[in-house]
A and B are shown apart, each in its own frame.
With several copies, the nearest count.
Chain A
């Protein structure tokens, strides 16, 4: 499991690589929360394009960050095109509260459009 970060303005882009299960989730959570406390982070995009597997532990991680970011009036978006993971995001109800894009670029563009208004 690898976690890579990049920034676009006040957007933190979290790129997850590998298989996100309960075993990986502690490490992933610690890494993300270390970046989230930086004052530059207001919005988060989870880029799941390089995940080959995710189960409900991933749902827990995304929902946890969603709650934290909502408290500071930030936005969360997810980039994903893996059919299995999309099915999981769909059934968990995440797709009702978080916008899902087919890739990270689209998510960034949309979020910059919204936050700049």
Chain B
């Protein structure tokens, strides 16, 4: 389905230790639901509060974009896929909405096609700041797929501390 390719999100060829797929309609009240599901899924790794908040925020941005830009408040389904690795999570948010014409422009800080809705144009920038890698694939008239990777550095720190304690 997808054409253009920006960024390089990928957790490599490792097998995930757990995964989930969530499908839900593009309703704004599902933004908080998607956040809860993603946060609850990654908590099995016991990441730091900050890492949890980072993922919640990035998921919120990607799902909100699918609702207001992808489907423009029309009906449609959003798919969120989480692949959990022992040190990271890859979260993909997919819509089959209108798609993005110019991905590079869309990713610019402050760029928004909906200033009338008081969008800040910071959605992609937030995802990039709060996650470690963000890949955007999109085709006009087909839809958009945003893939985000987050490393849980806190787990490494914990491991290191546990080792030093011995």
Is there direct touching of A and B in the complex, by C-beta distance under 8 Å?
yes
A interface residues, Cβ below 8 angstroms from B: 19, 21-23, 25, 29, 53, 55-57, 59-61, 63-64, 83-84, 87-88, 91-92
- Give the distance to chain A from B111, nearest Cβ to Cβ, in Å: 12
Query: A53 CA to B58 CA in the complex, in Å?
Result: 12
CB distance from A66 to the nearest CB of B (A): 11
- Please tell me which one of the listed residues B35, B50, B54, B122 contacts residue A56 in the complex, with CB atoms under 8 A apart: B122
| CB closest residue in chain A, given B123 | A56
**B positions within 8 Å CB-CB of A:** 28-29, 31-32, 35, 50, 53-54, 56-57, 60-61, 64, 67-68, 117-120, 122-123, 125-126, 129-130
B67 and A88 form a contact (CB under 8 A): no
Whole-angstrom distance between the Cβ of A44 and the nearest chain B Cβ: 15
Q: Across the interface, do A23 and B57 meet the contact criterion of CB distance under 8 Å?
A: no
* CB-CB under 8 A for A91 and B126, given A53-B56, A55-B64, A84-B50: yes
Contacts of B50 in A (CB 8 A): 83-84
A92 to B119, CA, bound (A): 12
Q: In the complex, which residues of chain B have a beta carbon less than 8 angstroms from the beta carbon of A57?
A: 64, 119-120
5 tightest A-B contacts by CB?
A: A23-B28, A84-B53, A59-B120, A60-B118, A60-B120
Chain A interface helix/strand/loop/mixed: helix
Given contacts A25-B118, A55-B126, A57-B119, 14 further A-B contacts (CB under 8 A): A21-B64, A22-B60, A22-B67, A23-B28, A23-B31, A55-B61, A56-B122, A61-B118, A63-B118, A83-B53, A91-B122, A91-B126, A92-B120, A92-B125
Q: Which of B28, B61, B120, B129 has the most CB of A within 10 A?
A: B120
Q: How far is the CA of A29 from the CA of B116 in the complex (A)?
A: 13
Give the shortest distance, in Å, between A37 (CB) and chain B (any CB).
17
In the bound complex, how far is the Cα of B56 from the Cα of A55, in angstroms?
9
Offer 9 A-B interface pairs, CB within 8 angstroms, sorted by A.
A19-B32, A21-B64, A22-B28, A29-B118, A53-B53, A53-B56, A56-B122, A63-B120, A87-B129
